[in-house]
C-alpha cells in the first residue's frame, strides 16, 4: 500500500479513484506514564511517554485507513492528512484521512 | 503551617522550573542547531516541488512528532502575563523548539529510509487536554510534521 500526502504517486499512474478513506483511534494515557509526565511538567521539555503513545495511536489510525482502502480495492492512498484533537481529560483522538486510489 | 508548606512547595517548584528549565532549554537549542546543520541537505519544502515529484524513483509518507510541555516557572509568568496582555515569550520558545524538533525527526526518518528530500511538508499542533477535570494535572502540546519523502536520481538531488 503506497501512502503519500501529494496528489500523485511519483512514477505511477492513477487508474481508479475510490474516494475518501478515514481511520481514527481514541487513546487514553496510563497512570505510570502520567506520573513521569507530571514531573516533567515542572521542568518543561519533551514528554517522551506521550510522544510514543500518540505515535503508536497514529500508526493504528493509519492502519485502519489502509484497511478501509484495501477493502475498496485500492492499492494506494494519496493526499493523506492527519489531525489530533483532545476529546476528554487525558484522551486524544488521532485521525488520518486521504483519497483511496489504484495506481499502476 | 499548611500555608507555609504550600508556599515552600511553590517556591521550590518555581526555582526548579526556572533553573532546570533554563538549562534544558539551552541544551536543547544547541542540540537542535547541530542536528539542523547535519540535516540541511535533506530539503524539506512545504510545496509539492513538481520537478522532484516527476523525477522521483520512490516515495513514502514520513512524519516526526513531539509532545512538549512548558516548565513551572514559565507557566507562572504566562499566568501573570494573562492579566496585562502581550506576548508570552516562554510559550513562543517552547512551541518553536517543538516544531524544529518535529521537522528534524521527520527529516531524520526520511534520511534513514534512504530518501533525499521531503515535499509537501505540513506542520500541525494540537493542545492535549490536562489530565484532571479541575484544569490541573499534566498538559502538553503535540507538534506533528509530515510530508512525502522522495528518492531522487543523483543528478536531481539538491546540492548540500
C-alpha cell at position A73: 480495492
The per-residue pLDDT string of chain A (104 residues; one tens digit each, 9 = 90 and over) reads: 999 999 999 889 999 999 999 999 998 876 666 777 777 778 888 988 889 989 999 999 999 999 999 999 999 999 999 999 888 777 889 999 999 999 99
**Could you report the predicted ipTM of this complex, rounded to two decimals?**
0.90
Is A79 an 8 Å CB contact of chain B?
Answer: no
Is the pLDDT at B139 greater than 80, yes or no? no
Q: Could you say which architecture CATH assigns to the domain A2-103?
A: 2-Layer Sandwich (3.30)
At A22 the pLDDT is 97
Residue in chain B lying closest to A59 (CA): B63
Cβ pair A40, B69 in contact under 8 A: yes
pLDDT of residue A86: 83
The beta-carbon neighbor of B74 closest among A44, A82, A84 is A44
Answer yes or no: do B138 and A83 touch at CB < 8 A: no
Mean pLDDT across the stretch B66-86?
89
C-alpha distances out from residue A53 to B119, B120, B138, B155, Å: 26, 25, 15, 40
Q: What residue ranges define each of the domains in chain B, with the CATH number in brackets?
A: 2-156 (3.30.110.70)
pLDDT given for residue B132 in this prediction: 55
CB-facing half-sphere around the CA of B40: CA atoms within 13 A: 6
**pLDDT given at position A38:** 74
**From edge to edge, which strands make up the β-sheet containing B58-69?**
A45-46, B58-69, B140-151, B117-128
At a CB cut-off of 8 Å and minimum separation 6, what does A84 contact?
A54, A58, A92, A93, A94, A95, B124, B126, B142, B144
- What does the pLDDT average to over B98-122? 96
Coil, strand or helix: which one is B88? Answer: coil
Residue B38: pLDDT band by 50, 70, 90 thresholds?
very high
The count of residues in chain A is 104
Dihedral-angle region of residue A44 (phi above 0 means left; psi in -120 to 50 means alpha; beta otherwise): left
Nearest one of B89, B141, B106, B10 to A44, comparing CA atoms: B141
Q: Is A92 in Cβ contact with B124 (below 8 Å)? A: no
A85 touches chain B (CB under 8 A): yes
Domain residue ranges of chain A, discontinuous segments joined by +: 2-103
CB atoms near residue B11 (< 10 Å):
10
Amino acid at each position: 500500500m503506497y501512502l503519500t500526502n501529494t496528489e500523485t504517486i511519483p512514477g505511477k499512474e492513477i487508474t481508479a479513484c475510490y474516494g475518501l478513506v478515514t481511520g481514527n483511534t481514541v487513546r487514553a494515557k496510563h497512570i505510570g506514564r502520567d506520573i513521569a509526565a507530571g514531573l516533567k511538567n515542572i521542568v518543561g521539555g519533551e514528554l517522551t511517554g506521550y510522544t510514543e503513545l500518540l505515535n503508536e495511536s497514529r500508526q493504528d489510525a493509519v492502519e485502519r485507513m489502509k484497511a478501509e482502502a484495501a477493502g475498496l480495492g485500492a492499492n494506494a492512498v494519496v493526499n493523506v492528512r492527519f489531525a489530533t484533537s483532545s476529546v476528554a481529560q487525558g484522551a486524544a483522538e488521532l485521525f488520518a484521512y486521504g483519497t483511496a486510489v489504484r495506481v499502476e | 503551617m499548611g500555608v507555609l508548606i504550600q508556599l515552600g512547595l511553590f517556591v521550590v517548584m518555581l526555582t526548579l522550573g526556572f533553573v532546570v528549565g533554563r538549562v534544558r532549554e539551552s541544551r536543547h537549542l544547541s542540540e537542535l542547531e547541530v542536528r539542523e546543520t547535519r540535516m540541511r541537505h535533506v530539503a524539506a519544502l512545504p510545496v509539492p516541488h513538481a520537478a522532484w515529484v516527476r523525477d522521483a524513483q520512490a516515495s513514502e509518507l514520513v512524519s516526526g512528532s513531539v509532545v512538549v510541555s512548558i516548565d513551572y516557572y514559565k507557566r507562572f509568568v504566562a499566568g501573570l502575563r494573562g492579566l496585562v496582555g502581550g506576548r508570552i515569550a516562554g510559550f513562543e520558545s517552547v512551541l518553536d523548539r517543538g516544531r524544529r524538533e518535529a521537522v528534524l525527526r521527520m527529516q531524520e526518518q526520511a534520511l534513514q529510509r534512504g530518501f533525499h528530500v521531503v515535499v509537501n511538508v505540513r506542520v500541525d499542533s494540537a493542545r492535549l487536554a490536562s489530565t484532571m477535570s479541575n484544569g490541573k494535572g499534566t498538559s502538553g502540546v503535540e507538534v506533528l510534521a509530515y510530508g512525502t519523502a522522495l528518492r531522487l536520481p543523483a543528478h536531481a538531488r539538491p546540492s548540500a
